[in-house]
Amino acid sequence: MAVKVAINGFGRIGRLAFRRIQNVDGIDVVAVNDLTDDEMLAHLLKYDTMQGRFTGEVEVENDGFRVNGLEVKSFSEPDPNKLPWKDLDIDVVLECTGFFADKEKAEAHINAGAKKVLISAPATGDLKTIVYNTNHTELDGTETVVSGASCTTNSLAPVAKVLNDDFGLVEGLMTTIH
């Protein structure tokens, strides 16, 4: 049985996650929540100036859209507590708005019925921040909300880990410009 994923926030990060998941067996995006209308969401998914044209089929429907024949429900709910994650049996919410970036706010998805939440941004408060191939072994399976750090951290951390493991780092400095 496939892992059911919902994406909250279908901007740059949400759409990139959606595109990537399309090539992963056993994971299905079944819902997105974004305040933008479905026609615009479908257009932005299909035509990306950085990633190129989406090769799959995207069709707008009454309650969302269909991607490569699979239904994706769409919602425009600003309060995640009110999303139908329980009814959709959502396993994981990818929190990609940048707004619900602390445990308390992200737990609104848990309150709505999701089993787990992955925040796609640096989080505040008492949350594990995980960078795959760097510290993912810290996860023990009991976590309901974790942070996937920032794009910059995901770029730097694996390289810093190798340097530290092989040579030892005393200190470092990184500057991010957006």
Give me the active site residues, please.
151
Helix, strand, coil: what percent of the chain each, to 5?
30, 25, 45
Residue 17, SS3 per DSSP? helix
Q: How would you classify the pairing of strands 58-61 and 145-147?
A: unpaired
- 27-59 in b/e form (b: 16+ CB < 10 A) is ebbbbbbbeeebeebbebbbeeeeeeebeeebe
Residue appearing with tokens 């239904």:
71
Helix 12-21 vs helix 38-46: crossing angle, to nearest 10:
60
